[in-house]
Amino acid sequence: MGEVRILKQTVKRILALSLLLFLCVLSVLPVFAEDAEATEIHDPRLVDMAGLLDADDAANLTALLDSLSEKLQFEVVVVTTNDLDGKTPRDYADDYYDYHQYGYGKKHDGVLFLRYINGDSREVWISTTGEGIRAISEDDIQDIFDRMSDDFYAGRYYGAFLTYAEEVERLVEYHRSYKIIWVFVGLGCGLLVGLLVTGTMKASLKSVRTARYAGNYVKDGSLKIDVARDIFLYRTITRVPRQTAERSGGSSHSGSSGTSHGGGGRSM
């Protein structure tokens, strides 16, 4: 009877744990909506101070960046300039993002692409913020530059910026689907472990039957206790899968405003 009671208690605990994991999943799913409060006042998402685009391309790219940012609830910005105000490309990009009120949610989620051209100096930098730091790694940034390079060298800036926008969309959506998948994987592993534990315990107790009196199993006059000792019956081992680390967005730093940023750049 003691083993049966322990089994029932274990089943109850596993069911309670499964319910808790399920509630955790439900609480994670609306996170994106909760954090998706955009700053209402900010500069346009395309700021072409270097004059790299004609009017039609600028209008089309602005519409694309606006649509993509609202769809993802994630700021996607392009800035071109001939003057870095004495700053490095990294500091200029970070400060431009911070002081021009870009970003969604409390962590100002988003990404800014900077193109700097001044004589022989030609630099690019991608600054990431909030979710962008985790979604777009330093390797991803270099891959984006590689994909844009042919259009840049040919002077096809509109095509290069389209590639940037497409890659940002792909990386952010992948990052979000990756997070949700691992939440459900963790829940499934927990349920599987629970089923294995209870199944093993049930199998080990399959010979147990309920009886009113123990005397039913003892021959009259045959019970004589001379020695008492403990006998090891079985052990239960619970194995929990090791969690796989989520892919990293790379190192981060703080801008002059105190906001954390990631990013990367190169001469192009």
**DSSP 8-state secondary structure symbol assigned to residue 215:** G
Q: At what angle do helices 2-28 and 157-204 cross, to 10 degrees?
A: 170
Q: Where are the domains of the chain?
A: 31-179+258-267
Q: Which CATH class is domain 31-179+258-267?
A: alpha beta
Taking all residues of the chain, what is their mean pLDDT, rounded to a whole number?
A: 79
- Read off the pLDDT of residues 79-113 as tens digits, 9 standing for 90 and up: 999 999 999 999 999 999 999 999 999 999 999 99
What is the DSSP pairing of strand 260-267 with strand 121-129? antiparallel
pLDDT at residue 255, as a whole number:
84
Contact 128, 111 (CB under 8 A): yes
Cα separation, 112 vs 156, whole angstroms = 19
Lowest pLDDT segment from 94-108, 155-169, 192-206, 238-252 = 238-252
Amino acid at 175: H
pLDDT at residue 22, as a whole number:
53
- Read off the pLDDT of residues 28-37 as tens digits, 9 standing for 90 and up: 444 444 444 4
Cα separation, 129 vs 255, whole angstroms = 10
Higher-scoring residue by pLDDT: 11, 105: 105
